[in-house]
Amino acid sequence: MMNPSVVGIDLGTTFSLAAYVENGRPVVVRDAAGVALVPSCISFHDDGSVLVGSAAKERALSDPEHTIFSVKRLMGRTLADLKKELELIPHQIVERETADGRKVLHVDIGGREYTPEELSALILKEVRKRAGNPTKAVITVPAYFDDSQRQATRDAGRIAGLDVLRIVNEPTAAALAYGLDRRGAGTIAVYDLGGGTFDCSVLSLAEGVFKVLATNGDTYLGGDDFDRLLMQVAAKEMGLDLQGAEKDPELLQHLRDAAEKTKIALSANDAAELVVDLSASKNVNRASLAPFRRTITRTEFEELIRPLIDRSLDRCKAALRDSHLTPAQIDEVVLVGGSTRIPFVRKRVGEFFGKTPHTGLNPDEVVALGAAVQADILTSGRRDMLLLDVVPLSLGIETLGGVVDKLIHRNATVPARATTRYTTGADNQTAILVNIYQGERELTKDCRFLGTFKLSGIPPMPAQFAQVDVTFIVDHNGILTVSAKEQRSGTQAQVTVQAAHGLTTEEVDRLVNESIENAQDDFTTRRLIELRNKAENDLRHTQKALAQAADRLTPDQRAAIASASETLRSAIAGSELNVLQRSIDEFGAATNPLATLVMNEVLRQSLGGTEADKLDPNNLGVRSLEKGMTWTDAREIGEALFDQFDTINPLSVRFTDLHKHVMNLEGFTGKPNESNEKLLEAIQMAWYEEWKDEYGDE
């Protein structure tokens, strides 16, 4: 893969990913195994190291106190905003007030506090690393994200070391990707239901111009909410009080994991079993309990989520109303977000719009692809496409009596600018305070407070003589700048709105500098953890192999393994990266004769017998190209897997993933149910031999 200098990033609630444009087409960034999605999950170790992505998600059940997910739902929020969420968040959420009166949200993980921006930056760093460390990015956000949430996302990008070129609405990005192959005119509705947020945007497409007509949404509606409904069913029948379980991260994580698996299974089956197994719990009393089992039918699940789907369709109605369109006037409906895989969602959306939704695009990848297109437009000078987005919520200032005077109304095309003249309310008033709000209600108490600034130096004059022009400017990113000027004296002031509960520019700069200063230490710590995990895994494999074949080793070989094992255990306990790497290399060399014995034995058993006259000639692994590979062709399959995934250590691949990789090989003709653990182990060892010849025992 090339190393792009600019990418599009979909920073999602459940998964995140990146894409870039190559030869005029957007391409999703994938790892060596072909996986595009990075779980938006972070796990912290006691030694200060951090895991992000799949490795972090795997620790969610075993170490829930130090593993966090769905960070996106915390971005730009206050503690009051999260009132309904707190009971199901397994971490303590606190709000710290700064000296200048701002309220900053923090998440307590293992005794250390992190802002949502810092946590999101860790996810962005992982996505950025997978893409080859580009320096510039377009990052997507839900269309209904307000100014605070957009600013928080931009700050997270900066902390991650990215120059954020543009903040783009997710449905708009999806429409960009969809419209690449559709140059005719038409009206598109994008129904975007992800892990934590929902948006509906209506766009017109004509000759490469994408114009957003209206957008509406709910930043507290997504797949996480479906999971919570299933969690509540299980908790009620188990006699658990979820509010009382707030301080029990392990229990909440087991419930969440079971609910998510059940939800996914119900997309393909008419019924699924919801299983909460606490046998591995650290709590002895809880571990002794029998697993909770409850069959959930698809019909029951659909009734549970029906009110949430109704809420989403109400948002669609609002977007259509603002667009002055009816469902019948929509030419195409595009589904975006992993939660749109649920059959009931597709059915209800199809019924609402009166047409079958377009499902030709991968709902998990389409937003990143569109972001990559926008990134390419911004950096390459490409002019055959134009994106015109909108302001999701109205913006205004507080006037006398707590009334919001709206300067820029929702669904105004960005960039947007508006100026209104105000005056003083008292004689000899020399300053005015501009309080900035966002929302659709008429009173400040019902809208979201974004920030404030003061215009001082107004000459003393009678009330209503001063002429103060207040100007709002919303840029392409949806970020607001406010300025005020008193016309008689020329006194003026300007501010880029910094939310009353966000990070200041100085705080963001400090976090950026800290990440640069600690980059080498962070890398060393991470590498040390990875090598320790590999070393412990190698020791476990060796103990298992010794139990099978130790009697066939020479005394010198057994002594060499014992000595290398002791040295490796000592290196694991230490903190010297070079010593640990050297010990792993020496251990690999010492155990090589053992690995060869085990592999030969596995191959011999998998080929049908121990004596020549008992071997099945059809199962010897000898094949013609016309016949194709089958499960017993371990050597050929191992070579083919190495050719396709040459940088992956085969010993780190789970058998379930290995089975999928083999089934996807070109020329493989075996059936899924013909494999078994012995055959997969033979294939894994054959693949490992190829990998070891290239890379050694890393």
Residues with Cβ within 8 Å of 302's Cβ and at least 6 positions away in sequence, in order, are: 344
Cβ 213 vs Cβ 411: under 8 Å = yes
287 CB neighbour count, 10 Å cutoff: 12
Cβ 480 vs Cβ 502: under 8 Å = no
Cβ 468 vs Cβ 432: under 8 Å = yes
CA-derived radius of gyration, the chain: 29
Residues known to be catalytic: 10, 72, 170, 192
Return the DSSP state at 368: H
Cβ 283 vs Cβ 250: under 8 Å = yes
Per-residue pLDDT tens digits for 598-624: 777 666 655 544 443 444 444 433 333
Burial of 195 (0-12, 13-18, 19+ CB in 10 A): buried
Element (DSSP H or E) covering residue 8: strand 6-11
Per-residue pLDDT tens digits for 61-93: 878 888 898 898 888 888 877 777 776 677 788
pLDDT of 512 strictly over 60: no
Across 528-550, average pLDDT? 82
- Phi/psi at 660 (5° precision): -65, -45
What domains appear along the chain, each with residue ranges and CATH number? Answer: 6-222+307-387 (3.30.420.40), 223-306 (3.90.640.10), 395-502 (2.60.34.10), 519-606 (1.20.1270.10), 612-695 (1.10.10.600)
CA–CA separation, 111 and 587 (whole Å): 37
Q: Which amino acid is it at 359?
A: T
Across 519-544, average pLDDT? 75
pLDDT value of position 518: 62
> Which residues are 202's β-sheet partners?
189, 214
386 CB neighbour count, 10 Å cutoff: 11
> Which residues are 166's β-sheet partners?
138
pLDDT of 181 strictly over 60: no
pLDDT value of position 610: 43
609 CB neighbour count, 10 Å cutoff: 12
pLDDT value of position 413: 85
More confident residue, 373 or 100: 373
Report the range out of 122-136, 175-189, 592-606, 671-685 with the highest average pLDDT. 122-136
Per-residue pLDDT tens digits for 397-421: 887 667 788 899 888 888 889 998 8
More confident residue, 506 or 459: 459
Per-residue pLDDT tens digits for 419-443: 988 887 778 888 888 888 888 877 7
Element (DSSP H or E) covering residue 438: strand 431-438
CA–CA separation, 503 and 117 (whole Å): 8
Q: What is the 3-state secondary structure (H, E, C) of 405-445?
A: EEEECCCCECCEEEEEEECCCCCCCCEEEEEEEECCCCEHH
Phi and psi based region of residue 358 (left: phi greater than 0; alpha: psi -120 to 50; beta: remaining): beta
Cβ 82 vs Cβ 90: under 8 Å = no
Q: Which amino acid is it at 570?
A: S
361 CB neighbour count, 10 Å cutoff: 17
pLDDT value of position 624: 33
Q: In 3D, which of 37, 79, 41 has the Cα closest to residue 57? A: 41
Element (DSSP H or E) covering residue 1: none
CA–CA separation, 419 and 482 (whole Å): 10
CA–CA separation, 312 and 171 (whole Å): 14
pLDDT of 494 strictly over 90: no
Percent of the chain with pLDDT over 70: 85
CA–CA separation, 376 and 251 (whole Å): 45
Cβ 629 vs Cβ 670: under 8 Å = yes
pLDDT of 183 strictly over 80: no
| Strand ranges in 91-234 using DSSP code E only, listed in sequence order | 92-97, 103-109, 112-114, 136-141, 163-169, 186-193, 198-206, 209-218
pLDDT value of position 519: 57
CA–CA separation, 158 and 472 (whole Å): 24
CA–CA separation, 456 and 398 (whole Å): 17
Torsion of CA 564, 567, 568, 570, to 10 degrees: 160
Q: In 220-365, where does DSSP find H-type helix?
A: 223-238, 249-265, 284-287, 298-323, 343-353
> Which residues are 103's β-sheet partners?
97
| Cis-peptide, bond into residue 415, ω within 30° of zero | yes
CA–CA separation, 438 and 482 (whole Å): 13
Q: How many residues does the chain have?
A: 698
End-to-end CA distance of the chain: 23
pLDDT value of position 603: 60
Per-residue pLDDT tens digits for 137-170: 999 998 888 888 888 999 999 999 999 999 998 9
CA–CA separation, 509 and 544 (whole Å): 51
Cβ 126 vs Cβ 84: under 8 Å = no
Residues with Cβ within 8 Å of 326's Cβ and at least 6 positions away in sequence, in order, are: 320
Per-residue pLDDT tens digits for 252-288: 888 989 999 999 999 999 999 999 887 777 765 666 6
Confidence band (pLDDT; 50, 70, 90) for 549? Answer: confident
- Phi/psi at 642 (5° precision): -65, -40
pLDDT value of position 246: 47
pLDDT value of position 250: 80
pLDDT value of position 499: 56
CA–CA separation, 583 and 564 (whole Å): 7
CA–CA separation, 502 and 451 (whole Å): 10
Per-residue pLDDT tens digits for 295-311: 999 999 999 999 999 99
pTM of the predicted structure, to 2 decimals: 0.65
More confident residue, 365 or 646: 365
pLDDT value of position 621: 35
pLDDT of 489 strictly over 90: no
∠ CA 406-409-411 to the nearest 5 degrees? Answer: 165
pLDDT of 247 strictly over 60: no
Q: How confident is the prediction for the chain on average, in pLDDT?
A: 82
Across 340-369, average pLDDT? 92
Per-residue pLDDT tens digits for 5-63: 899 999 999 999 999 999 888 999 998 888 999 999 999 987 778 899 998 888 888 78
pLDDT value of position 520: 64
For 1, 101, 572, the CA distances from 191, given in Å and listed in that order, are 32, 38, 50
Cβ 698 vs Cβ 649: under 8 Å = yes
